[in-house]
Structure 1
Amino acid sequence: MTRLPLRDSLMRDAEASGALALGDLPEWDLTDLYPSPDAPELSRDLERLEKACASFAADYEGKLAGLTPAEMLDCIRRYEEIDLIAGRIMSYAGLRYYQNTTDAARAKTLGDLQAKITDMTTPLVFFSLEFNRIPEDVYQATFGAKDGPARYKPVFDRMRAMRPYQLSDELEKFLHDNSVVGAAAWNRLFDETTASLTFDVDGEELGLEATLNLLTDHDRSRREAGAKALAKVFGDNVKLFSRIHNTLAKEKAIEDKWRKMPTPQTARHLSNHVEPEVVQALRDAVVAAYPRLSHRYYRLKARWLGLDKLQVWDRNAPLPQENPRLVGWDEARQTVLDAYAGFDPELAELAQPFFEKGWIDAGVKPGKSPGAFAHPTVTDAHPYVLLNYLGKPRDVMTLAHELGHGVHQRLAAGQGELLSSTPLTLAETASVFGEMLTFRALLAKTTDPAQRKALLAGKVEDMINTVVRQIAFYDFECRLHAARAEGELTPDDINAIWMSVQHESLGDAFEFMPGYESFWTYVPHFVHSPFYVYAYAFGDGLVNALYAAYEAQPEGFQAKYFDMLRAGGSKHHSELLAPFGLDAADPAFWDKGLSMIEGFIDELEAMEA
Structure 2
Amino acid sequence: MRSMSEATAAIQPRRTAPDLGALPEWNLDDLYPAMDSDEVKRDLARSLDESVAFEERWKGRLDGLLDTETGAAELAGAIREFEALQDLLGRLISYAGLQHALQVSDPARAKFYGDVQEKLTNAGLHLLFFPLELNRISDERIEAAMADPELAHYRPWIEDERKERPYQLEDRLEQLFHEKSVTGRGAWNRLFDETMAGLRFDVDGEELPLEPTLNLLQDPEEATRRKAAEAMVRTFREHLPTFALITNTLAKDKEISDRWRGFKDVADSRHLANRVEREVVDALVTSVREAYPRLSHRYYALKARWFGKDRLEFWDRNAPLPKAPQKTYRWEEARDTVLSAYAGFDPQMADIAKPFFEKGWIDAPTKPGKSPGAFAHPTVPSAHPYVLLNYQGRPRDVMTLAHELGHGVHQVLAAPQGPLMAPTPLTLAETASVFGEMLTFRAILSRAEPAERKALIAAKVEDMLNTVVRQIAFYVFERKLHEARRQEEVPAEEINRMWMEVQAESLGPAINLGDGYETFWAYVPHFIHSPFYVYAYAFGDCLVNSLYAIYQESEDGFAQRYFEMLKAGGSKHHSELLAPFGLDAAEPAFWSKGLTVIEGLIDELEALEE
Q: Give the TM-score range, shorter chain.
A: over 0.9
SS, match of residue 3 in structure 1:
coil
The equivalent residue for 2:91 is 88
CA contact (8 A) 1:158 1:270 kept: no
The C-alpha deviation readout for 1:154-176, integer Å capped at 9, x for no partner, is: 22212111111111111111111
The equivalent residue for 1:132 is 135
CA contact (8 A) 1:187 1:528 kept: yes
Q: Distance in 2 between matches of 1:323 and 1:17?
A: 18
Task: Within 5 Å, give how 1:282-297 maps onto structure 2.
Answer: 282-297=284-299
Amino acid at match of 2:163: A
CA contact (8 A) 1:321 1:454 kept: no
Tell me how many residue pairs correspond in the alignment.
605
The equivalent residue for 2:344 is 342
CA contact (8 A) 1:69 1:147 kept: no
Q: Distance in 2 between matches of 1:254 and 1:446?
A: 53
Amino acid at match of 2:176: F
Q: Distance in 2 between matches of 1:485 and 1:605?
A: 45
Q: Distance in 2 between matches of 1:322 and 1:71?
A: 65
The equivalent residue for 1:16 is 15
The equivalent residue for 1:571 is 572
Task: Within 5 Å, give how 1:435-454 maps onto structure 2.
Answer: 435-448=437-450, 450-454=451-455
Q: Distance in 2 between matches of 1:172 and 1:65?
A: 20
SS, match of residue 200 in structure 1:
strand
TM-score (norm 2): 0.98
Q: Distance in 1 between matches of 2:456 and 2:124?
A: 50
CA contact (8 A) 1:294 1:464 kept: yes
Distance 1:2 1:327, change over 3 A: closer
The equivalent residue for 1:213 is 215
Q: Distance in 1 between matches of 2:97 and 2:131?
A: 25
The equivalent residue for 2:68 is none
Q: Distance in 1 between matches of 2:575 and 2:445?
A: 32
SS, match of residue 180 in structure 1:
coil
The C-alpha deviation readout for 1:333-353, integer Å capped at 9, x for no partner, is: 111111111111111111111
SS, match of residue 375 in structure 2:
strand
Q: Distance in 2 between matches of 1:313 and 1:2?
A: 20
Q: Distance in 1 between matches of 2:10 and 2:137?
A: 55
The equivalent residue for 2:608 is 607
Task: Within 5 Å, give how 1:458-607 maps onto structure 2.
Answer: 458-607=459-608
The equivalent residue for 2:429 is 427
The C-alpha deviation readout for 1:172-223, integer Å capped at 9, x for no partner, is: 1111110100110000000001111000001111110000010011111100
The equivalent residue for 1:160 is 162
Structure 2: runs of 5+ lacking an equivalent: 66-70
The C-alpha deviation readout for 1:486-542, integer Å capped at 9, x for no partner, is: 211110010001000000000000111211001000000000000000000000000
Structure 1: runs of 5+ lacking an equivalent: none
The equivalent residue for 1:54 is 52
CA contact (8 A) 1:218 1:324 kept: no
CA offset at residue 331 of structure 1?
A: 1.0
Q: Distance in 2 between matches of 1:531 and 1:53?
A: 32
Amino acid at match of 2:47: L
Is the aligned partner of 1:306 residue 2:304? no
Which region of structure 1 is more displaced relative to structure 2, 261-270 or 318-327? 318-327
Q: Distance in 2 between matches of 1:554 and 1:117?
A: 46
CA contact (8 A) 2:389 2:401 kept: yes
Q: Distance in 1 between matches of 2:29 and 2:284?
A: 42
Q: Distance in 2 between matches of 1:506 and 1:155?
A: 41
Aligned counterpart for 2:102 among listed residues 99, 102, 116: 99
The C-alpha deviation readout for 1:521-578, integer Å capped at 9, x for no partner, is: 0000000000000000000000000000001110110100111111101111111111
Aligned counterpart for 2:149 among listed residues 147, 150, 153: 147
Task: Within 5 Å, give how 1:191-206 maps onto structure 2.
Answer: 191-206=193-208
CA offset at residue 4 of structure 1?
A: 4.0
Is the aligned partner of 1:224 residue 2:233? no
Task: Within 5 Å, give how 1:313-332 maps onto structure 2.
Answer: 313-332=315-334
CA offset at residue 18 of structure 1?
A: 3.4
SS, match of residue 17 in structure 1:
coil
Is the aligned partner of 1:115 residue 2:118? yes
Aligned counterpart for 2:366 among listed residues 361, 364, 367: 364
CA offset at residue 10 of structure 1?
A: 3.0
Q: Distance in 2 between matches of 1:2 and 1:126?
A: 35
CA contact (8 A) 1:321 1:451 kept: no
Distance 1:134 1:169, change over 3 A: same
TM-score (norm 1): 0.98
SS, match of residue 385 in structure 1:
strand
Q: Distance in 2 between matches of 1:17 and 1:157?
A: 56
CA contact (8 A) 2:3 2:524 kept: no
CA contact (8 A) 2:11 2:17 kept: no
SS, match of residue 201 in structure 2:
strand
Q: Distance in 2 between matches of 1:162 and 1:416?
A: 20
Structure 1 runs, 4 residues or longer, greater than 2 Å off: 1-6, 15-19
Amino acid at match of 1:551: Q
CA contact (8 A) 2:464 2:598 kept: yes
Amino acid at match of 1:9: A
Q: Distance in 1 between matches of 2:591 and 2:231?
A: 38
The equivalent residue for 2:73 is 70
SS, match of residue 514 in structure 1:
coil
Aligned counterpart for 2:35 among listed residues 9, 34, 37: 37
The equivalent residue for 1:388 is 390
CA offset at residue 38 of structure 1?
A: 1.5
> CA RMSD of the aligned region, Å?
1.0
